[in-house]
Amino acid sequence: MPVHSAQIRVHTEGDGDIIDITRGIEEVVETSGVEDGIVNVFVSHSTAAITLIEYETGGVQDLKELMDLLVPPNATYHHNEMQGDTNAHAHLQAAIVGPSETVPVKNGRVQTGTWQQFVLCDFDDHPRERSVMVQVLS
């Protein structure tokens, strides 16, 4: 069984930027020719995360605000004090949301719902170039 993999490059503004990467993932699955299997989507950065949401302006803003409410950027963190860093909240937000999602592929289509988009969340505190890995197994 061949494994099909690709990378999606994404420019983000950081600070909780949430970017719809669904179309890129669908293209990798289409190119793979896989009919039945799974697609694993993974971001290899400790201050970014992958999840699925309804990609709509209000909900996207809600998620960004919620993460900053639960894990405030301006609180005091050991990571910032010990490393002379400013993005401890980004590491924590990323650990809670998580760096990967795995979704079934059936009849050549990713089995996400109509109101369910793959998003890259960039919690880091400045713009970044990110690489998202997409692996299709069957």
How many Å apart are CA 40 and CA 135, to the nearest integer?
A: 5
Binding flag, residue 24, a second copy (CB under 8 A): no
Binding flag, residue 128, a second copy (CB under 8 A): no
Q: Of 23 and 96, which has the nearer Cβ to a second copy?
A: 96
Structure-token pair, residue 56: 């709509």
Q: Of 11 and 85, which has the nearer Cβ to a second copy?
A: 85
Q: Of 30 and 65, which has the nearer Cβ to a second copy?
A: 65
Residue 82 phi, psi dihedral angles, 5° rounding: -80, -30
Choose the stretch contacting a second copy; rule: CB under 8 A; options: 9-17, 22-30, 45-53: 45-53
Question: 84: which residues sit within 8 A by CB, 6+ positions away?
Answer: none
At 125, which amino acid appears?
Answer: D
